[in-house]
Structures are given as C-alpha cells and as structure tokens.
Structure 1
Amino acid sequence: MSSNLQNIKQRISVRAYADQPLPAGARAELEAFMAGISHGPFGTPLRFRFLDESGVSRAEQRRLGTYGMITGDRYYLAGAVRIGGADAELDYGYCLERIILQATGLGLGTCWLAGSLNRDTFAQKMALQGNEIIPAVSPVGIPAELKRLGIILAQNLMQVRKRREFGNLFFDGQAGQPLSLTAAGPWAAALEAVRAAPSASNKQPWRVIKSGPDFHVCLEADPLYNRAFKSFSVQRLDIGIALCHFELAASELGLPGGWHDVQPQPATGKLTYIKTWRPA
C-alpha cells in the first residue's frame, strides 16, 4: 500500500474502465475501509456504500446519469449525509476523498462526480432516509488499458500545469500577499498537496493564509456556480477535499496539529473563513 502523499500525487480522474471485476482482495479492503467511516472529522454522521452495478443492463447504467461521460463503470463509491450542519459538506468531501485515495493506493481508478449523475437513481440504491442527500459519487475500477492510462496520465500532468500558482492560492499574513515556498518552510509540501486536490470544474476555490504558526483555510466562492447545486454547496465539498489533503500530508510529514474554529474569526478580506490548522 502506497503512502498518502504518493496517492495524492498519483490520483487521476479515470473515465474509462476495464470490463472486468475488481480483484477480490482490493474490493474487500476498500469495503472494510468504507465501513469504518461513520462520522466526518468535524462530527457529521455519514454513511458510505460500495455499489455493485456489474449485473445491470446498459439501459440501467444510463439511469445513473453518467453514461457517455463514464464508460465501463461497474462499481461506485457513494455516500449519504444530512445537509444542514455547518460542516456537513466539509465532512463529506473529506471522507469521500479519503476513500478515493485509499482506492488509488490499491491501484484503482476513480473520478469525482457531483454534477453528472442522476441523484434520484442513486438515492434509490442508497435507500436515502429523511433529509439525507448524495452530494457526490465516484466510479471505481481498473483503468481501461495501459495505453488509455498513459493518455490519462498525460492529461493529468497537463491539468496539474493548469493549477493556479502557489502564491495565488497561499498567502503570507493577509489575503492577497503571496506566500513563497521559502516562507512556507516545512509546510510547503502540505500546501502543494492542497494545490493538487481535485475540484468541481477545476475552480480551485481554496485559499490559505499563513498567520504566524497558523494556517487559515478560506473559500473564494463563486455564488453563481454554487447556485447550480440547489441542495448543497459544491465548493464547500471542494474545501473538504483540500482539508483532507492538508491533514494527511502534514501527518505523513511529521507535522502534528489539528483543525480549529478560531473565534473571533481572523481577518480574511473578501474570502470566507472556514477552518484553522494550528500546529501542536
């Protein structure tokens, strides 16, 4: 099993899967990992399921709302959460990314899907209760072929190059003041892990302000984009992914600490304050 930092670097969006079952060991390990998640890091109750669609018809696959965008999909990683709590989207994004990175470490392909899915169909398969919703899912499987995988890897490298510059995402002391790699010191690799995180439409809405020893994570929101998702904030989901990457990277780098809600909230300019990482 590879390390979290390796998984973060190797994770790519796979949209074409081989028409074959998952290795039994990999599937069992992934299902056991998912079963161990009942709450997010900020306390929101969650539940995740491994959905096996290998026996359904092509017509049934179309009902998932991903047919055409995703091909060869037999299996899905899906979850449910009750939206309403302040941290619900953060917890869901964090935990589904943990599962996706676990799948990456097992040599499996995944792809975040928040817009292109039929939530009614997934709701039936998850047997949603009360005010639960499914913010996002991911297909999981063996990438279609090595040649195709090579194309995907090349595309992923191009996508990494499309990431915003380090100093456009991470600030020194105040919003808008670029943080240099030198000033980031030992935390630079954890911030690079955030920079590598996937986000809806590659909008990269996270911003981080280094203030003394603390790192204030903020959201640069796109209100019009968020309104397209009526029941939840897709960009807070993205922030949950970023929080996951930062914490996993910091832990692996031997940089202990934890998330805090700082009161009074720090000055963040036009950015929306989310959480603060405070080194131990």
Structure 2
Amino acid sequence: MKTTIKDFALSDTAAVIRKRMSVRNYEARPISEEDYEAIARYAADPSRLTGPFGGITRLDLVKVTGAVSEKGIKLGTYGMIKNPQAYLVGVIPKDNKTALLDFGYAFEKLVLFLTDRGIGTCWMGGTFNRNSFGREINLADHETIPCITPIGYPQGKEGLLRSAMRTLVKADNKKGWSELFCDGAFGRPLEEKAAGVFALPVEMVRLGPSASNKQPWRLVLSEDRKAVHLYLAHTPNYSEVMQLTDMGIAMSHFELGCGAAGVEGSWVQRDPQLALPDARTEYIASWVVKA
C-alpha cells in the first residue's frame, strides 16, 4: 500500500523528489478508477490543500478525451502535451501574494503524491488557454488559475517538441549550492558540510521545479542554525506570479526535507533584516526550528 506524502521516510522523500520530472507525453490508456479515487480523496481533504499561511487551494479535476472535456470544451495547451487523460486545475483568489505561496506549497505536494503513484504531471503556468479552462470550471471574477497540470501515465520517450522544451528551459541543469545558499549572510556561500541537519532540506530545495528553471530561491542559514530564511531573487521582466509560486514549491520541498531529517519547525514571516545583495532580492519567509 502506498504511503501518503505526509508519511514519507527519509529515503522515500528524497527518492520521490528526485524522481519527479515534467511529463509532456502520456500513454493513451485511461487513468484507473483506483487512481482517480485516490485523487478524489486527496482533493476532499482541506488539510492537504492548505498552505503554511492558511490559504486553501481549490482543486478541480477535469477529465478529457482528445483534449476535449466532458462538457465539450477544447482545452488548449498549444501542442505542448500529448495524450493527457485529465487536468488538475488550481484556483486561488486574485491579486494575493500570500495565496500564491500557499498555492505553490500545496500544489507541489499534490504533484509529489501523484509521482509516488506513478502518475505523470507537468507544471503549466503560461502554456495553456486560461479562458477555456476558466469556462470549464466556472471560474469566478475574484478567482484566478495560477497553474494547471495534465495527468496520465508517462509514455517514456518524449517527442521532439517536448524534448526541445526541456532543452530550452534547461530543465536538466540545476545551479549549485554556492549560487543559491548562504551561511549567515548574503555573500557567504554555504558549504554542504557546514549545513548539518539542514543538508537534506537544502538539497531538496535545489532540486525543485521552477518556471523556466530560473531557480529564483535563495536560502540563508542563520549562524545559530535556529532559522533558515527564504528569499526570492526576482528575474527581471519575468512573471511575479510564477516566481511566487516557485517560492511555495521551495517551502514545500524544504519542509518535507526537514520532516525526513527529523528537524521540527514551522514557517513564519518575520524578516531578519539582513543586508540584501540587490534591489531584486525580496524576503519571503523563515523556517524557525522548534525550541
């Protein structure tokens, strides 16, 4: 019997995060009733869709046949996805930065849950037709769809277009620790041997998915190792919505890594007022170790 993401042991957490990848090419066979039931149970549990700051993501499951929903609406993804069996659509209130953090956090845990069941996913924030998806799920005026994911069983080999997409966004290239993580202050690169119990959580953040693989997260470990501060290094002229969602993903991975490493704590927004490297770096949140 599969464990839930909340129950992963150390090796399981790391293995699932390492296993997850964007899947754009799916088998034509339908998703099993057992898997649909598991998704339905997941979506019916508000605690699973609640972020660290209390925002709850609304989750809609839309089954499709040949990219057409049961309502007869063609759901466009601009040729990026082949043989999707359904879509999971995340919905949150408009113009709410904290809701985007909560969304990224909750939706990534869903993605990892699906990965553990052998179901493929692909974070999509810009390459889908929001109007058609909005009609399909009866999107209200005060709501927005930050991202969706197609779901299905991975085909294995990617097509030429989908392989080109991975190359374009450098999906297989991740920045190193020295570029992303700092020890006590910005400008002091964190060495893995100095991270102590945070080595696994920090590495799990490094491996996380991000829009166009920009990896905009930055972590600063406090000198006393009682807190880890998360910052967003904004990419110029790039979507703030997507990059705030990326921050939620980073929070999810870090927390899961802490759970696996036995490091108790919680997320708070309490700016430590560190000297920032530039005007594009924004404080997001801090993981504070339980006393």
Shorter-chain TM-score: which interval? 0.7 to 0.9
1:65-144 alignment runs, 5 A limit: 65-144=76-155
1:275 and 2:288 are equivalent in the alignment = no
Alignment CA distance shift 1:56-1:180 (3 Å): closer
For normalisation by structure 1, the TM-score amounts to: 0.88
Q: 1:49 aligned to 20, 43, 60, which one?
A: 60
- CA displacement at 1:31 relative to structure 2: 1.8
Q: What amino acid is aligned across from residue 220 of structure 1 in structure 2?
A: A
Q: Secondary structure at the residue paired with 1:87?
A: helix
Answer with 35-44 or 249-258: which moved more: 35-44
**Identical-pair percentage:** 36
- CA displacement at 1:93 relative to structure 2: 0.8
1:106-185 alignment runs, 5 A limit: 106-144=117-155, 146=156, 162-185=173-196
For normalisation by structure 2, the TM-score amounts to: 0.85
Residue deviations 1:125-147 (CA, integer Å, cap 9, x gap): 22112310000000011012x45
8 Å Cα contact 1:14/1:109 also seen in 2 = yes
Q: What amino acid is aligned across from residue 21 of structure 1 in structure 2?
A: P
- CA displacement at 1:202 relative to structure 2: 0.5
Residue 29 of structure 1 corresponds to which residue in structure 2? 38
- CA displacement at 1:248 relative to structure 2: 1.0
8 Å Cα contact 1:4/1:101 also seen in 2 = no
8 Å Cα contact 1:160/1:196 also seen in 2 = no
Q: 2:245 aligned to 237, 261, 274, which one?
A: 237
1:6 and 2:15 are equivalent in the alignment = yes
- CA displacement at 1:65 relative to structure 2: 2.6
Q: Secondary structure at the residue paired with 2:151?
A: strand
Q: Secondary structure at the residue paired with 1:80?
A: strand
Q: Count matched residues.
A: 269
Q: What amino acid is aligned across from residue 19 of structure 1 in structure 2?
A: A
Q: Which runs of 5+ in 1 are unaligned?
A: 227-231
- CA displacement at 1:201 relative to structure 2: 0.5
Residue 224 of structure 1 corresponds to which residue in structure 2? 237
Residue deviations 1:130-180 (CA, integer Å, cap 9, x gap): 310000000011012x4559x98xx79x96751111111000111121000
8 Å Cα contact 1:219/1:239 also seen in 2 = yes
Answer with 158-167 or 29-38: which moved more: 158-167
8 Å Cα contact 1:266/1:273 also seen in 2 = no
Whole-Å separation in 2 of the counterparts to 1:84 and 1:169:
28
8 Å Cα contact 1:52/1:76 also seen in 2 = yes
